[in-house]
Chains A and B, each alone.
Chain A
Amino acid sequence: MRFVDEFREPELISKTAEEIRRLAGTERHYRMMEVCGGHTHAIYRFGLKDILPENIELIHGPGCPVCVLPMGRIDDGLSIAKDPNVIFAAFGDMMRVPGTLGSPLEHKARGMDVRIVYSPSDALKLARLNPDRHVMFFAIGFETTAPSTALTIKRAKGEGIHNFSVFCNHVTIIPAIRAILDSPDMRLDAFIGPGHVSTVIGCRPYEWIAQDARKPIAVSGFEPLDMLQSVVMLLQQLKKGEAKVENQYKRVVPWEGNRAALKVMAEVFQLRPYFEWRGLGFISQSALRLRDEYAEFDAEQRFNVPGIRVTDPKAAQCGEVLKGVLKPHQCKLFGRECTPERPVGALMVSSEGSCAAYFNYEHRKTPLTQLSVA
């Protein structure tokens, strides 16, 4: 399959892995954070740990929007959809995310009108098809998905559609990286930068990480060869004592980002003063809300939202796992009370969460070298 198989080519991968081993040597340990949940998923799905040397440790970052969404936001969204006139529309990833009284899917089984959509414009289509009902799109994601939500809201306004609103949970990646770097127990050497987010924001917003925090960062694609090549770039910088932003994912990511997408986001959204992140706490200016010009499409302004705050179960050590202090399987609940089917903590919820990825692909694994036919 074109555009996929080239980046999974065994010979190139083994050559790149060889280069990584040569650069990494054996004298020191490297801790690299992949910011994006898509990378976390890919690392486990492709079994990259089998390929990387032991002294390169990948720390899973906060870039999974489902994982960092506080449970209270789900409760708030579902409380609006208790009104039988409301259709709750969301991406498939949201469906199994537990609120206090169950996930959207469990609410659906009990009769709530919950629909899976593949894009915000599908939700708007639902509104056009159901003029007597109200469609609320539960929006989630980083800068990757925020432009399409913004565009949909603009279109709804342009078409004069009145039975459509957005419950906005869009967050921005840079403040989260800053929070991670400010955290006292973080010891990171470098970052694998988020590829999808960067298609929108470009590479420039990461420059402070290199200049002020003195950490190398490589914006990376999602195929095995992409990620291995990014590791090579980071090792080369670290060996030379450099810290700069590099773009490994040039085939998709323009250095300046996508101006049209940034423009429509700025038109429709403004920054919230602060927003709660699951596992990380409140981070200032880290999330988006609708501008007042679009208030009629803002579910939080249009409906009575209880503003529920739910503290995570104490036993779940999501914060520590999120910051890389603990590995997923070191959490007390991992694989017992907390599984992808019945997640307790945030990171077990989405397939991009590090606990879910670890549970699905790595947990119970026997290293290939130890396998023998009896």
Chain B
Amino acid sequence: MSAPITTGVKPQAIRFRDPQIEMAHGAGGKASRRLVEGLFAPLLYGNSPGPLGDAGIVDLGGTHIAITTDSFVVKPLTFPGGSIGELAINGTVNDLAVSGAKAEALVVTYVLEAGLPSSVLEAEVRAMAKAAQAAGVRICGGDTKVVEHGKADQMYISTTGIGRLLHGVVIDPASVRPGDKILLSGPIGDHGITILLARGELDMEADLRSDTRSVLSMVEALVGAAGPGVRWMRDPTRGGAGTSLNELARDCGLGIVLQEEKIPVRDAVRGACELLGLDPLHIANEGQFLAVVAAEYADAAMNALSLVPGGEGAQIIGEVREQPAGAVLIATSYGGSRIIDMLVGDPLPRIC
């Protein structure tokens, strides 16, 4: 497919003019995008970085590798279904996976607050070892810094990973075409709402666990069954699936139309969102991914995913259309529709 897109909207160049850094700049929504595209990209990556994916691809004398980095500042450190150590491994493995790469090696940086009980650190290191083994990735180095008591909140972890590109798949938003299907690996919002409830500020309880896990085996199955038809993937962490799909709409200049009743959301997440005025599409996930798959590969993709443990909840939630160009529209089962924008502000800080 090489037909040029004629209906696309050309994304406007973004300039970073915000007078100070606020929590919203770390929330993964509009402000984060402004910071990355308006300050980091022009000064660090050259003037035309192209669409910013979850990992960079480096050409080492003909061998292409994927590289990415991620930091974790989640509060509280442990929560139902996971902990900061597990997130730190899965987050980087997943960023590589949705960039079409299998994580091979990670390095780890710890920023520790003086006074942190050693038992807390040890528990997280053990959680990391276990998650790394499950994801099949080697940890080959690291660094530790300690700051004065009160200058950090217990511990922060940063992981940097390199990955080998999977064969037979090219991730490029420019290859997305009207008619392509939007695939989601499972229910959304579990992680964000779990963290929110784990903080105990809301006096609300629900039987909910973070979805943190490696999505690599699911991505491998998808690529194996539908590789040539896979055009784009993303793990919708901060900012949620709504923000990721807005980034796609902007990068490909096409419209994304979702069917609300097809989007898997657990009742506990829906209920919490209804009460708090949040949209599940803006809530962070740590073990799901979105993919755009050519229509003719959609059945093969769904079949392959449903056979992988953890992929049973996958759904086709919508498709790419020419309109509304550059935006995401949700159609409801009762005949209404609405635009879903990127996350604005920071309703749930320090979620990962």
| Interfacial residues, chain A to chain B (CB-CB below 8 A) | 1, 4, 8-10, 13-14, 17, 44-51, 92, 95-96, 105-106, 109-110, 118, 122, 224, 340-341, 351, 359-366, 368, 370-374
Contact = CB atoms under 8 A, between A and B. Distances in A.
B23 A374 contact: no
B321 A372 contact: yes
B344 A366 contact: no
Interface in B237-256: 255
B22 interface: yes
What are the nearest 5 A-B pairs in CB distance? A47-B336, A374-B178, A361-B338, A13-B334, A366-B324
B228 interface: no
A365 B335 contact: no
B334 A10 contact: yes
Contact of B178 (A9, A46, A373): A373
Main secondary structure of the interface of B (DSSP, over half): loop
Given A10-B334, A46-B332, A341-B345, A361 B339 contact: yes
Contact of B335 (A14, A109, A364): A14
A154 B341 CA distance: 42
Given A106-B20, A340-B344, A365 B336 contact: no
Contacts of B345: 95-96, 105, 341
A48 B178 CA distance: 27
B231 to A, nearest CB: 15
Contact of B22 (A51, A105, A372): A105
Nearest to A93: B277
Interface stretch (B110-118, B267-275, B300-308): B267-275
Contact of B333 (A10, A105, A118, A341): A10
Contacts, number: 106
B347 A92 contact: yes
Contact of B255 (A4, A109, A363, A366): A366
A161 B319 CA distance: 58
A50 to B, nearest CB: 5
A340 B334 CA distance: 28
A9 B326 CA distance: 30
A49 B267 CA distance: 27
Contacts of B335: 10, 13-14, 17, 47, 50-51, 368
A359 B339 CA distance: 9
A240 B298 CA distance: 54
A220 B31 CA distance: 36
